């Protein structure tokens, strides 16, 4: 593997990491309105960086929420056009007291960089930025045409970019998308993700009395919204993890026998996974399916929190007037968000306990998607990864959701190459999120070689 751009990237690794740290210091938590100014600041910081490295037509594209960042470089006539996607928003950092170093003060420990967004997705978005810088600085040009589109709402449903993509704007005219928001199946194992689960994120609100009541005076007469909500949730999922919403499994497209066979050959030790990644006393999930099948190819239902009532220390003897549950479902090929939400809502409203009123609200959703692997971009990616990592690439799915990947396919006809360099224990969405620094560097190399290989193979 040799390339002027690779040489440049290696020479500037320390600076690249320092610049990433600056970006990670901006608390661009998209779901919290008090961080709206920070979120915009992260977008502006990236736009400035694209301008600095020589990208053109750089600008923020406003949406109803947080802005998109656009940039392009289109001076490679006859070559394909890559659309580089990433997101600059991050998950909330709570629970704060479990972080070993502050979430927005990037800290190096044991060869890792710890910070909220280190790997999801500022670190991976920044690999793209630094790959482009290395190519432009070392060669004075890019090996193909490049457009960049970043969003700031990936963690809250991505409505802004979804609308933008659906409008099929000229800014997104391209041949394929490079998405850097996934992970390696294992360290030192180059990986392309070719399937994502979709999701619906909902709120179930239960209302009982008109106001909070004293549980001594009214216990025995007033409905208790938390008990009712618990009874509802207990009807949504059995203890194995099977979803009890009628018809929810109808029409699911299972993985092919070839794909299942490939998954079986992946280096996966369930007991190691339980101990090091999950840490629970046992794993749970539908009987008859492996962990990879359950997390990649089966729908699941989770509760994320139940706001309302008394949550302070000590005791308050109140029957709360209302209770809320944040409930999401992951969806797999053959399911649609609209159908899954309709079935969930209909079922919940059919089993409402006595005395309470219930609303089910859809907060956001995303389609599941499967990527066809038989195209020149996937072939170029595996070639580039073989060069940088000296290993054959494995194809996996992810249990997570990147709804925009489905939108790129549906509205623009673009195949995505999901090339990510996180590790399974990187604590995405959790305290102590990290990015292995060596993987940040090899990720930059991989993107450089992928873009070069794609440009070369299409002359």
255-314 residues near its own copies, rule: CB under 8 A: 273, 277-286, 291, 294-295, 298, 300-314
> How near is the Cβ of 421 to its own copies at its closest, in Å?
15
197 is written with which tokens?
């689960």
114 is written with which tokens?
């710890």
> How near is the Cβ of 222 to its own copies at its closest, in Å?
5
Which of the residues 396 through 455 are near its own copies (CB under 8 A)? 398-401, 424, 427-432
Is the CB of residue 428 less than 8 Å from the CB of residue 173? no
Query: Per-residue string for binding with its own copies, 348-377, x by CB under 8 A?
Result: -----xxxxx-----xx-------------
Which of the residues 198 through 217 are near its own copies (CB under 8 A)? 199, 201, 208-217
Q: Which helix (H) or strand (E) holds 47?
A: helix 36-53
Query: CA-based diameter of the chain, in Å?
Result: 81
Nearest to 424 by CA among 411, 416, 414, 433: 433
Q: Which is nearer to its own copies, 338 or 430 (CB)?
A: 430
78 contributes a contact to its own copies by CB under 8 A: no
Is the CB of residue 234 less than 8 Å from the CB of residue 301? no
> How near is the Cβ of 271 to its own copies at its closest, in Å?
12
Query: Per-residue string for binding with its own copies, 121-160, x by CB under 8 A?
Result: ----------------------------------xxx---
Calculate the alpha carbon distances from 200 to 140, 275, 418 in Å.
Answer: 45, 29, 22
Q: Which is nearer to its own copies, 48 or 317 (CB)?
A: 317
Check whether the bond before 177 is cis (ω within 30° of 0): no
* CA 78 from centre of chain: 33
Q: Which is nearer to its own copies, 141 or 304 (CB)?
A: 304
3-state secondary structure of 297: coil
Q: Which is nearer to its own copies, 65 or 455 (CB)?
A: 65
Q: Which is nearer to its own copies, 99 or 441 (CB)?
A: 99
Alpha helices in 119-256 (DSSP H): 122-139, 159-166, 215-218, 225-236
433 is written with which tokens?
């999120």
> How near is the Cβ of 357 to its own copies at its closest, in Å?
6
> How near is the Cβ of 343 to its own copies at its closest, in Å?
18
């Amino acid at each position: 593997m040799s390339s002027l751009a690779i040489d440049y990237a290696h020479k500037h690794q320390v600076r690249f990491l320092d610049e990433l740290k600056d970006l990670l210091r901006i608390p661009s938590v998209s779901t919290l309105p008090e961080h709206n100014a920070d979120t915009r600041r992260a977008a502006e910081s990236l736009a400035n960086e694209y301008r600095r490295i020589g990208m053109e037509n750089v600008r923020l594209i406003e949406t109803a929420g947080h802005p998109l960042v656009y940039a392009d470089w289109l001076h490679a006539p006859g070559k394909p056009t890559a659309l580089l996607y990433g997101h600059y928003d991050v998950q909330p950092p709570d629970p704060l007291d479990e972080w070993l170093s502050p979430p927005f003060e990037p800290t190096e420990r044991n060869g890792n960089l710890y910070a909220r967004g280190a790997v999801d997705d500022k670190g991976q978005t920044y690999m793209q930025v630094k790959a482009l810088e290395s190519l432009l600085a070392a060669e004075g040009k890019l090996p193909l045409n490049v457009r960049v589109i970043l969003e700031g709402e990936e963690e809250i449903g991505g409505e802004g970019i979804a609308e933008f993509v659906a409008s099929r704007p000229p800014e997104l005219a391209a041949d394929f998308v490079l998405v850097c928001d996934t992970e390696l199946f294992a360290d030192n194992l180059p990986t392309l993700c070719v399937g994502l689960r979709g999701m619906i994120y909902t709120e179930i609100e239960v209302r009982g009395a008109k106001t909070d009541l004293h549980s001594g005076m009214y216990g025995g007469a007033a409905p208790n919204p938390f008990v009712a909500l618990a009874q509802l949730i207990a009807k949504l999922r059995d203890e194995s993890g099977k979803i009890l919403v009628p018809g929810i499994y109808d029409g699911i497209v299972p993985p092919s026998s070839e794909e299942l066979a490939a998954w079986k050959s992946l280096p996966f030790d369930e007991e190691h996974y339980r101990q090091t990644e999950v840490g629970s006393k046992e794993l749970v999930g539908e009987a008859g399916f492996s962990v990879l099948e359950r997390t990649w190819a089966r729908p699941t239902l989770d509760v994320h929190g139940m706001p309302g009532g008394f949550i302070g220390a000590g005791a308050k003897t109140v029957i709360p007037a209302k209770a809320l549950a944040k409930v999401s479902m992951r969806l797999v090929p053959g399911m649609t968000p609209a159908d899954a939400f309709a079935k969930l809502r209909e079922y919940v409203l059919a089993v409402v306990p006595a005395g309470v009123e219930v609303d089910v609200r859809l907060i956001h959703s995303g389609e599941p998607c499967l990527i066809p692997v038989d195209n020149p971009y996937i072939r170029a990616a595996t070639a580039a990864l073989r060069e940088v990592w000296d290993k054959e690439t494995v194809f996996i799915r992810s249990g997570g959701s990147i709804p925009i990947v489905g939108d790129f396919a549906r509205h623009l006809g673009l195949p995505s190459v999901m090339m990510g360099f996180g590790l399974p224990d990187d604590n995405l969405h959790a305290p102590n999120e990290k990015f292995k620094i060596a993987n940040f560097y090899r990720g930059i190399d991989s993107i450089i070689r992928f873009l070069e290989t794609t440009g070369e193979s299409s002359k």
